[in-house]
Amino acid sequence: MSTMTGGDAVYQALKAADVTCVFGIPSQHNLGLYDALCRHGDIRVIGTRHEQGAVHAADGYARATGKLGVAIASTGPGTVNTINGLYEAAFASSPVLLITTQIDTRYLGRGKGFIHDADQQLTMLRTVTRRSERVLHVRDIAPALHGVMRDIHCGRAQPGAVEIPTDLLLAPLPQQTYVYDPPAPLPADGAALDNVAQRIRDSRRPLIWVGGGCVSANAADAVRRLAQRMGAPVVSSVNGRGVLPAGHPLYAGCQTHLPAFNDLLAQADLVLAIGTRFQALASQYWQQPMPRNLIHIDADVGVIGRNYPPALSVVADARLAVEGLLERLPSHAADSEFIALAQDIRGAFTTTLQRMIGPDHQRIVSTIEALLPADSPVVCDATITANTWGNYLLAIRGPRIGHYSTGLAIGPALPLGIGAAIGTGNKTLVIHGDGGVMLNLAEIATAVETRAPIILCVFNDGGYGVLKGLQRVTTGRPYAVDLHTPDFVAVAGAMGMPGCLVRSTEAFAQALETALATDGPYLIEIDLNSLAPIRMFG
């Protein structure tokens, strides 16, 4: 009887789940897996420079493509390095699988000080995943992987992890193939939809609020049809951008955190929330006066009623629920005054943000919108430019286009952007600050090595700009937030990434044209001190 190794079992499990790309770093503990991937050769292996970057890149790949993002690490320090990435994927409801290792089974749990011994590693992983499993027999490798994959995709996506002792990756087992049975989308209860449809028919000024769950469920087309059927304006969370393209006449924006949005809520007699959990900033830290007639649709029963009590709820996949409502709803007479109010408020949002960012950044936004292809992903880090115009003003024209550091940590955007660029093959714009980009600066080498089509924009103000602003309005004095920053163009050039420094909006436009025409990655460093300032903190 022919045999294969535990590493082959990992490969076969991935192939059965249609995985075609993984991100990771080789280690003496996972060489059996890398050998199997090398021998089979048809899963692309992207080598990152840090395990955190590997998980972030897998996350970006998952968000931009809708496919499972897979990262590979090794036991002990390698797995510890993945935690930040898993945390971000969990916060963003992103389907990410970490495959990591453990020390040999004969030493496991004995505390003998074997290299990279981390007996409580599984406990740590379970703090940032929905499900993490340890494999103790080679025959259980593929079933464990498939079990965790199913949990990752069950309801609202969450990351998962499987750790495999090093000796099992080289251990033999009978040659076999595997079949992966993914979970079906959660169907909607018909009676619940009947009740929701009746409530919508009785409303006169309905408002639809969409979140990232509509994107992950591929519900954009159904939501657009529902909005038109209901005659309802649509607002979104930042993760829900693109469900209605920015220019759609019913789209009222994603700036629900601004006080003017409360005027729209006050006029609505029904809010239909789909695939959102009302995160803190989006809901003004849950101080918004939500109408009593709130209907909440989500695939995760745990978020229903967590922040706002609904009048009616449906626990279901967003696309299936919306399609069910379309079957039950006739065309709804639109309230033209309510739609006009929504557009007026969106216009007020735009005016407020334009005043905040100033004329130079307005021109940068206009340049990006004019030059960047509509299918190019845009990935924002937690930085002033992102928290003003990148996440809230820049036009996002389709789902899976706009992405950001959902947990609001600094640093993820570069590897997130690499994953998005590799997954889609499209030019990907990454918006970074000089402080945040330093956390994953080594991934420039990954971008160069893979020729990832990213445009890395580093907005350089010589420090942690957001923190400096917060210090001014709290303690009154900036401290420990001014940074020595390198010559980013020179650093990128030393790694093989071309780039340029710009000090004007005209130079930015020329640089963006050059970057779009460049095969592979390109860096644009923007000297913020040469531009009119963003007044984020007044």
247, part of any domain: yes
CA distance 112 to 505: 60
17 and 126 fall within a common domain? yes
The verdict on 280 and 425 lying in the same domain is no
* Domain hosting residue 223, numbered range: 190-334
Q: What local confidence, expressed as pLDDT, does residue 367 receive?
A: 98
What is the distance between the alpha carbons of residues 205 and 195, in angstroms, rounded to a whole number?
18
Run of H or E residues at 99: strand 96-102
Element (H, E) at 202: helix 190-202
Higher local confidence (pLDDT), 326 or 289: 326
Residue 517: pLDDT band with limits 50, 70, 90: very high
- Domain end point (choices 112, 144, 174): 174
**Per-residue pLDDT at 1 exceeds 90:** no
| 341 is a domain residue | no
- Residue 123 domain flag: yes
- Domain shared by 321 and 368, yes or no: no
d(CA 83, CA 446): 20
**pLDDT, tens digit, 9 for 90 and up, residues 268-296:** 999 999 999 998 878 888 888 888 899 99
Do 195 and 319 lie in one domain? The reply is: yes
Boundary (domain end) residue, out of 123, 150, 174: 174
| Widest pairwise Cα distance in the chain | 75
Query: What is the DSSP annotation of 389-402?
Result: IITTTS---STT-E
Q: What is the CATH number of the domain that holds 222?
A: 3.40.50.1220
Same domain, 395 and 327: no
* Within a domain: 180: no
**481 lies in a domain?**
yes
Q: Contact at 8 Å (CB) between 385 and 392? A: no
**Residue-averaged pLDDT of the chain:** 95
385, 270: one domain = no
Measured CA to CA, the distance from residue 309 to residue 307 in angstroms comes to: 7
What are 456's strand-pairing partners? 430, 523
Average pLDDT score over residue span 46-53: 98
* 381 and 525 assigned to the same domain: yes
Residue with tokens 């060489």: 31
User: Is 100 within a domain?
Assistant: yes
384 and 287 share one domain: no
Q: Is residue 184 part of a domain?
A: no
> 480 and 370, same structural domain?
yes
Residues 16, 158, single domain; the answer is yes
Return the pLDDT at 78.
Answer: 97
Lowest mean pLDDT among 50-59, 63-72, 465-474: 465-474
- CATH code of 76's domain: 3.40.50.970
**Location of structure tokens 């909005």:** 227
Query: What is the domain count for the chain?
Result: 3
Residue 536 lies in a domain: no
Residues 89 and 156 in one domain: yes
Region 405-427: what's the mean pLDDT? 97
Q: pTM score > 0.95 for this model?
A: yes
- pLDDT tens, residue by residue, 126-142: 999 999 999 999 999 99
**pLDDT tens digits, residue range 128-183?**
999 999 999 999 999 999 999 999 999 999 999 999 999 999 999 999 999 999 99
Residue 25 has φ and ψ, to the nearest 5°, of -135, 130
If asked whether residues 507 and 395 sit together in one domain, one would say: yes
Residues 76-127: pLDDT tens digits?
999 999 999 999 999 999 999 999 999 999 999 888 888 899 999 999 999 9
* Domain final residue, candidates 139, 174, 209: 174
